[in-house]
């Protein structure tokens, strides 16, 4: 069943919502929430935009004449990665740190070439779901991201992203998911109470952070999870 939190840029290269198997168990209404809902907040990577971080390793391996599996093993979502996503570390500084952790002699341009090649496309069915949801609620997005990635997804997916009133980016906010403070800040900027927000993310850790800030949340393992949750608010989407 969809995991509803009432109580998981993250760039973890895991299975996207479009790839996961659909679940059909009934929803626990006490977890999705029953109070007034004013806005819906969506994650981007793994929910709307399909990503494959292995593409970066393959490009770097080809440029460095080494094995992609070795690079994947060396790569970590480390402190430098998180600082890059909160704006504490500029891109040049991050790519210097990445070069050291990967132990490769690649130029910044080479690293950026792989870094920005992780986007596959919009997850099938999500554009239709967003269009349906927007008929009743204002839509916003909140993503952990960095300037290099933002320069790609903001252009490539401009049409799909145009449905959001605002896209909040961690590197611009100065704080990232799952920190509850990031969700409190986003709620404040949206002009609503956290309890009036329904948040969708493919990371359970991020959803837990949103719920800690007072939001209601849904962990997205497939587009069906979004469909079922929207249905609880009277938004029916045809298959």
| CA count, 13 A, side-chain hemisphere, 221 | 11
The Cα 210–Cα 195 span in angstroms is 10
pLDDT by residue (tens digit) across 168-227? 999 999 999 999 999 999 999 999 999 999 999 999 999 999 999 999 999 999 999 999
Q: Is 222:212 a contact under the CB 8 Å cutoff?
A: no
Lowest mean pLDDT among 65-69, 78-82, 172-176, 228-232: 228-232
Q: Which are the contacts of 216, defined by CB distance < 8 A and separation ≥ 6?
A: 4, 5, 6, 31, 32, 33, 37, 195, 197, 198, 199
For the chain, which residues make up each domain, given as ranges?
A: 3-51+122-231, 54-115
Given the candidates 3.40.50.1000, 3.30.365.10, 3.40.50.1100, 3.40.1380.10, the CATH classification of the domain at 3-51+122-231 is 3.40.50.1000
Count of residues in the chain = 239
Q: What sign has the CA pseudo-torsion 128, 134, 136, 138?
A: positive
Q: Strand 197-201 relative to strand 216-219: parallel, antiparallel, unpaired?
A: parallel
Look at residue 190 in the predicted model and tell me its pLDDT.
Answer: 98
The Cα 144–Cα 44 span in angstroms is 9
Give the percent of the chain with pLDDT over 70.
Answer: 85
Give the percent of the chain with pLDDT over 90.
Answer: 82
- Looking at domain 54-115, what is its CATH homologous superfamily? Putative phosphatase; domain 2 (1.10.150.240)
C-alpha 79 chain-centroid distance: 19
């Amino acid at each position: 069943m969809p995991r509803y939190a009432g109580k998981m840029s993250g760039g973890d290269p895991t299975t996207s919502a479009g790839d996961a198997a659909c679940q059909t168990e009934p929803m626990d209404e006490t977890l999705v929430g029953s109070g007034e809902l004013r806005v819906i907040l969506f994650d981007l990577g793994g929910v709307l935009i399909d990503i494959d971080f292995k593409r970066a390793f393959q490009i770097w391996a080809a440029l460095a004449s080494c094995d992609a599996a070795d690079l994947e093993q060396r790569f970590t979502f480390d402190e430098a990665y998180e600082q890059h996503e909160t704006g504490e570390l500029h891109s040049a500084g991050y790519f210097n740190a990445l070069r050291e952790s990967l132990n490769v002699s690649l130029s910044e341009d080479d690293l950026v070439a792989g870094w920005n090649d992780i986007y596959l496309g919009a997850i099938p069915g999500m554009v239709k779901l967003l269009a349906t949801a927007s008929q009743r609620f204002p839509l916003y997005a909140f993503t952990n991201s960095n300037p290099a990635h933002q320069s790609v997804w903001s252009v490539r997916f401009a049409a799909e992203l145009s449905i959001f009133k605002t896209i909040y980016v961690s590197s611009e906010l100065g704080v990232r998911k799952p920190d509850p403070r990031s969700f409190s800040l986003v709620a404040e900027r949206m002009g609503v109470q956290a309890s009036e927000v329904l948040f969708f993310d493919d990371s359970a850790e991020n959803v837990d952070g949103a719920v800690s800030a007072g939001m209601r949340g849904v962990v997205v393992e497939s587009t069906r999870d979004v469909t079922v949750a929207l249905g609880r608010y009277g938004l029916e989407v045809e298959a």
